[in-house]
């Protein structure tokens, strides 16, 4: 580890104490940012954590919609995203007007939105979901038809497990650019031939062809638990590369092979140790959701947390 990185880490850890700040870090962050985290997890785990924060300030090392969710859950606290250009392209694929149009075309049909959406869209849905609880939420809703978005591949994953529900996609075809890079998972299948004893774990944002070839389709939180608890020793990881860093660091006795070493989310990687340090010093840039949107968006998030207990 370079001297500069070590110095930044020490300064960040001291500033967190001095300013009563908590650092929430997504599994897709770079290794050195993960190493200064107070809590690392997937979207569901981070939302749960954000619901019960006592510190005065939250530094969110993730992307725009995650910091917004933390702000909606903690309207009185300072929520800081170290780089405002860390925006999730999938969330941007669902503008409010597209959602409202689909709602108008399907009156009375409940709307379930992946948390990977912006606050103004969340404010117009009935309940949010993550890849960890989407199946559970749709089952518990117990409706024949559901408007679901923005991720078409997550919709495929849900539909395979809850076949009696018609999912109306919004937008028509939303996707994650990073998980698209796996395509049908040819490289992962080559690895599986080389290491037949390995478990192939695939994220539900990946294409259906890749999901169908997986041993397990799991959220990143699910992947972590599976790798920790399984008696297997080798795992092929079909998600963003930051997850492989976390697994290698926290479960050193096992082997983790990236299904595609180039599967990097450029938005997540806009957060660095340097801008995290600067965010702590300047207490900026702040993410604040307008009050009226905040009040409306809180309900579907709280409903999700309640329904996935
Ligand atoms: S990995 Fe995909 S869904 Fe997640 S933040 Fe990056 S672009 Fe968005």
Which DSSP string do the residues of 80-134 spell out, in sequence order? E-S-TT---HHHHTS-HHHHHHHHHHSTT--EEEESSS-HHHHTTSSEEE-TTTH
For ligand 1, atom 3: residue with the closest CA = 176
Most distant CA pair in the chain, distance = 59
Determine the pLDDT at residue 44. Answer: 87
Tokens 């529900």, located at residue: 165
d(C-alpha 223, C-alpha 200), whole Å: 10
Closest ligand 1 atom, residue 266 Cα: 6
Residue 7 Cα, ligand 1 centroid: separation in angstroms?
30
Q: What is the pTM of this model?
A: 0.96
Q: Are the C-beta atoms of 55 and 22 separated by less than 8 Å? A: yes
pLDDT band for position 309 (50/70/90)? confident
Q: How far apart are CA 228 and CA 221, in angstroms?
A: 11
- CA 53 – CA 262 distance, rounded (Å): 34
- End-to-end CA distance of the chain, in Å? 40
Rg for the chain (alpha carbons), in Å?
A: 19
CA distances from 25 to 72, 111, 136, 198, 231 (A): 17, 28, 25, 28, 28
CA 42 – ligand 1 centroid, Å: 12
Whether the CA torsion 295, 176, 242, 194 is positive or negative: it is: positive
Q: How many CA atoms lie within 13 A of 156 on its CB side?
A: 18
d(CA 56, ligand 1 centre) in Å: 28
- Ligand 1 pocket, mutate which of 177, 182, 243 (most atoms under 8 A from CB): 177
Q: What is the percentage of the chain residues whose pLDDT exceeds 90?
A: 97
| Residue nearest to ligand 1 atom 6, measured at CA | 265
Neighbours of 120 (CB within 10 A): 17
The predicted structure's pLDDT at residue 227: 98
| 86 C-alpha to ligand 1 centroid (Å) | 10
Q: 175 is written with which tokens?
A: 């996707």
CB atoms within 10 A of CB 2: 8
Q: Compute the distance from residue 265 Cα to the ligand 1 centre, in Å.
A: 6
Which residue has a Cα nearest atom 5 of ligand 1?
88
Is residue 41 within 8 A of residue 29, CB to CB? The reply is: no
Q: Which ligand 1 atom lies nearest to the CA of residue 179?
A: 2
Specify the pLDDT at position 206.
98
Domains of the chain, with CATH numbers? 3-87+268-290 (3.40.50.10800), 90-176+292-307 (3.40.50.10800), 182-258 (3.40.50.10800)
pLDDT at position 197:
98
Q: Which residues contact ligand 1 via a Cβ below 6 A? A: 28, 63, 88-90, 116, 176-179, 240, 265, 267-268
* CA dihedral sign of residues 124, 42, 78, 92: negative
**pLDDT bracket for residue 144 (50, 70, 90):** very high
- In residues, how long is the chain? 309
Mutate to test the pocket of ligand 1, among 89, 94, 113, 174 (most ligand atoms within 8 A of CB): 89
Query: Torsion angle, CA of 197/203/204/210, rounded to 10 degrees?
Result: -50
Separation of alpha carbons 12 and 263, rounded Å: 28
Report CA(211)–ligand 1 centroid distance (Å): 17
Mutation test residue for ligand 1: of 260, 267, 269, 270, the one with most atoms within 8 Å of CB: 267
pLDDT in tens, 173-212: 999 999 999 999 999 999 999 999 999 999 999 999 999 9
Residue 59, token pair as written in the block: 């530094």
Instruction: Answer yes or no: are the C-beta atoms of 26 and 271 closer than 8 Å.
Output: no
231 C-alpha vs ligand 1 centroid, how far in Å? 30
Q: How confident is the model at residue 42 (pLDDT cuts 50, 70, 90)?
A: very high
To test the pocket of ligand 1, the residue of 266, 268, 269, 270 to mutate (highest count of ligand atoms within 8 Å of its CB) is: 268
Give the residue, by CA position, lying nearest to ligand 1 atom 8. 88
In tens, the pLDDT along 223-269 reads 999 999 999 999 999 999 999 999 999 999 999 999 999 999 999 99
What is the distance in A from the centroid of ligand 1 to the CA of 217? 17
pLDDT of residue 267: 98
Q: What percent of the chain has pLDDT over 70?
A: 100
CB 27 within 8 A of CB 222: no
Alpha helices in the chain (DSSP H): 3-19, 31-34, 43-51, 64-73, 89-92, 96-105, 119-122, 134-141, 152-161, 177-180, 186-194, 208-212, 220-229, 241-250, 273-282, 291-307
Q: Say which DSSP state 176 is in.
A: -
């Amino acid at each position: 580890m370079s001297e500069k990185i070590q110095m930044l880490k020490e300064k960040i850890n001291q500033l967190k104490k001095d300013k009563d700040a908590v650092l929430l870090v997504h599994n897709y962050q770079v290794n050195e940012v993960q190493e200064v985290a107070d809590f690392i997890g997937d979207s569901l785990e981070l939302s749960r954590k954000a619901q019960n924060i006592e510190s005065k300030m939250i530094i969110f090392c993730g992307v725009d919609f995650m910091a917004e969710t933390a702000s909606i859950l903690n309207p009185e606290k300072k929520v800081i995203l170290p780089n405002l250009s860390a925006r999730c392209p999938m969330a941007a694929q669902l503008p409010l007007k597209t959602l409202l149009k689909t709602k108008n075309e399907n009156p009375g049909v409940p709307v379930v939105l992946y948390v990977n959406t912006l606050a103004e869209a969340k404010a117009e849905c009935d309940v949010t979901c993550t890849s960890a609880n989407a199946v559970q939420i749709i089952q518990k809703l117990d409706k024949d038809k559901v408007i679901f978005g923005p991720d078409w591949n997550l919709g495929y994953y849900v539909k395979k497990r809850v076949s009696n529900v018609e999912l109306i996609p919004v937008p028509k075809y939303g996707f994650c650019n990073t998980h698209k890079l796996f395509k049908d998972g040819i490289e992962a299948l080559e690895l599986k031939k080389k290491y037949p004893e390995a478990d192939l774990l695939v994220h539900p944002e990946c294409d259906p062809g890749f999901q169908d070839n997986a041993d397990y389709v799991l959220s990143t939180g699910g992947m972590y638990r599976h790798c920790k608890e399984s008696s297997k020793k080798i795992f092929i990881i079909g998600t963003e590369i930051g997850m492989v860093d976390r697994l290698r660091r926290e479960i050193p006795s096992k082997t983790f092979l990236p299904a595609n070493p180039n599967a990097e989310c450029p938005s997540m990687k806009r957060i660095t140790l340097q801008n995290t340090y600067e965010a702590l010093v300047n207490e900026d840039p702040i993410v604040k959701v307008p009050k009226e949107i905040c009040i409306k968006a809180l309900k579907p998030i709280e409903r999700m947390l309640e329904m996935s207990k």
